[in-house]
Amino acid sequence: MSISEQRPGSFAIAEDGVDPALVPNRVLWTGARMPAIGLGTFGSDRFSGEQIAEAVLGAAAVGYRHFDCARVYGNERLIGASLETIQAGGIRREDVWVTSKLWNDKHAPADVIPTFKESLADLRLEYLDLYLIHWPFPNHHAPGVDVTSRAPNARPYIHEEFMATWREMEKLVDVGLVRHIGTSNMSVAKLKLLLRDARIKPACNEMELHPCFQQPEMFKFVMDAGIVPIGFAPIGSPTRPDRDKTPDDAVDIEDPAIVAIAKRLGVHPATVCVKWAVQRGQVPIPFSIYRNEYLSNLRSTVMAPLTDEEMAAVAAADRNSRLIKGQVFLWKEGQTWEDLWDLDGVIAR
Ligand SMILES: NC(=O)c1ccc[n+]([C@@H]2O[C@H](COP(=O)([O-])OP(=O)(O)OC[C@H]3O[C@@H](n4cnc5c(N)ncnc54)[C@H](OP(=O)(O)O)[C@@H]3O)[C@@H](O)[C@H]2O)c1
């Protein structure tokens, strides 16, 4: 059904869908509940905004209640039309979770609130459930550029500047335009500073998490701090653009442990990645515009748990294989992408 064919009142859950009340959720430090799976909305180079807005409608019709958006995805206006249709169809605003993110060229304090308001208007909402700082670096790069591209005025993470951005995020909570604020693509070292200095604590940290990249140390740190980890690229982003691939990257959906579980359950290995993620405790946000795919991802969350042996086998599948390396955020010559992630616990300058 196309967006234009959707009519108010038409939003009953599809017969083969999942009752949203059965989908697990996570409790944030505020006491709010967030659905433990969301639909990713980054179409990369492959899908149009219209196709993704259509997927948002379709996903809501099969039981999704959580949508992971971002200004830089360039599709919030179209998704906003879908969110309006969903609500006109009888789904209450408080039963839908919508996230958006502040892009890197808008970290200047004067830009934060106006940029947020653009997202809010495009999404046709009166508040957002979660607003994230998309990357801790203020360095702009246009969507789709090659990984060798660098901003001419690129800078490292500067905590004082990040906190100035965070103060504006806090104001959005104060005035009720945002329920929760959070971060993405952080390191433990950066999060420690933020937790030390924040007036309003981050509720979530969005980070790359999939079986071949489990970030056990950071995952534990985030969980222990009472921050909910949202896992992006939960399937290992198998169809990401070639510019984001390197020869050493692991392929999660071909991992023997994942494939063996998929065979037992009679599902696609992608579904196992999502199932494992929810069972481990993170909130995966798998992307797909295809109904069969996003429905099976959602269904996985209400299936019987993986066995302890299967969970152990997936834990052992970790290859420390980061896929979204962030090269475009590097700020000086001679660096490697590892410098972005503070692997030795010290923030690189
Ligand atoms: N915070 C950040 O910096 C950040 C970074 C990256 C991503 N994200 C968010 O995370 C979301 C997900 O990441 P992602 O799209 O890179 O990776 P992903 O969800 O790991 O992979 C998506 C791809 O997996 C395939 N897939 C999905 N479900 C499937 C199923 N049931 N069976 C078979 N194949 C399936 C689809 O391929 P086909 O399309 O070929 O079917 C889809 O394009 C994004 O949309 C975005 O919202 C955030």
Can you give the pLDDT at residue 20? 97
Which residue lies with its CA nearest to atom 26 of ligand 1? 288
Which residue lies with its CA nearest to atom 39 of ligand 1? 288
Whether residue 325 contacts residue 237, with contact meaning beta carbons closer than 8 Å, is answered with no
Asked if the model's pLDDT at residue 6 lies above 50, the reply is: no
CATH number, span 35-237+248-341: 3.20.20.100
Place of tokens 């999942």: 18
Residues in the chain: 349
Strand bridging mode 204-208 / 178-184: parallel
Is ligand 1 within 6 A of the CB of residue 235? yes
- pLDDT tier for residue 10 given thresholds of 50, 70 and 90: low
User: What gap in Å lies between CA 160 and CA 60, rounded to an integer?
Assistant: 40
Q: What is the pLDDT of residues 306-346, one digit of tens each?
A: 999 999 999 999 999 999 999 989 998 889 999 999 999 99
Mean confidence (pLDDT) of the chain: 94
Q: What is the pLDDT of residues 204-231, one digit of tens each?
A: 999 999 999 999 999 999 999 999 999 9
Work out the percent of the chain whose per-residue pLDDT is above 90.
87
Mean pLDDT of 274-303: 98
Ligand 1 centroid distance, CA of 169 (Å): 27
Is ligand 1 within 6 A of the CB of residue 182? no
Mean pLDDT of 174-180: 98
Ligand 1 centroid distance, CA of 124 (Å): 24
DSSP state letters, 185-222: S--HHHHHHHHHH-SS--SEEEEE-BTTB--HHHHHHH
And the tokens for 68?
A: 């992971």
User: What gap in Å lies between CA 150 and CA 211, rounded to an integer?
Assistant: 30
Ligand 1 centroid distance, CA of 152 (Å): 30
The residue to mutate among 230, 293, 294, 298, having the most atoms of ligand 1 within 8 angstroms of its beta carbon, is 293
Can you give the pLDDT at residue 231? 98
- pLDDT tier for residue 4 given thresholds of 50, 70 and 90: very low
Q: What pTM was computed for the model? A: 0.96
Torsion, Cα 283 68 29 115, to 10 degrees, reads 150
Is ligand 1 within 6 A of the CB of residue 268? yes
User: What gap in Å lies between CA 163 and CA 165, rounded to an integer?
Assistant: 5
Ligand 1 centroid distance, CA of 258 (Å): 17
Residue closest to 119 by CA, chosen among 162, 170, 164, 68: 68
Can you give the pLDDT at residue 52? 98
Is ligand 1 within 6 A of the CB of residue 284? no
DSSP structural state of residue 74: S
DSSP state letters, 85-104: HHHHTT--GGG-EEEEEE-G
DSSP structural state of residue 18: -
**Residues 6 or more apart whose Cβ sits within 8 Å of residue 49:** 43, 74, 75, 77, 78, 79
Q: What is the pLDDT of residues 136-150, one digit of tens each?
A: 999 887 777 788 888
Is ligand 1 within 6 A of the CB of residue 68? yes
Can you give the pLDDT at residue 9? 55
- pLDDT tier for residue 3 given thresholds of 50, 70 and 90: very low
Ligand 1 centroid distance, CA of 194 (Å): 28
What atom of ligand 1 comes closest to residue 101's alpha carbon?
Answer: 1
User: What gap in Å lies between CA 292 and CA 237, rounded to an integer?
Assistant: 17
CA angle 278, 228, 94 (to 5 degrees): 85
Can you give the pLDDT at residue 5? 44
Asked if the model's pLDDT at residue 1 lies above 60, the reply is: no
More confident position, 302 or 333: 302
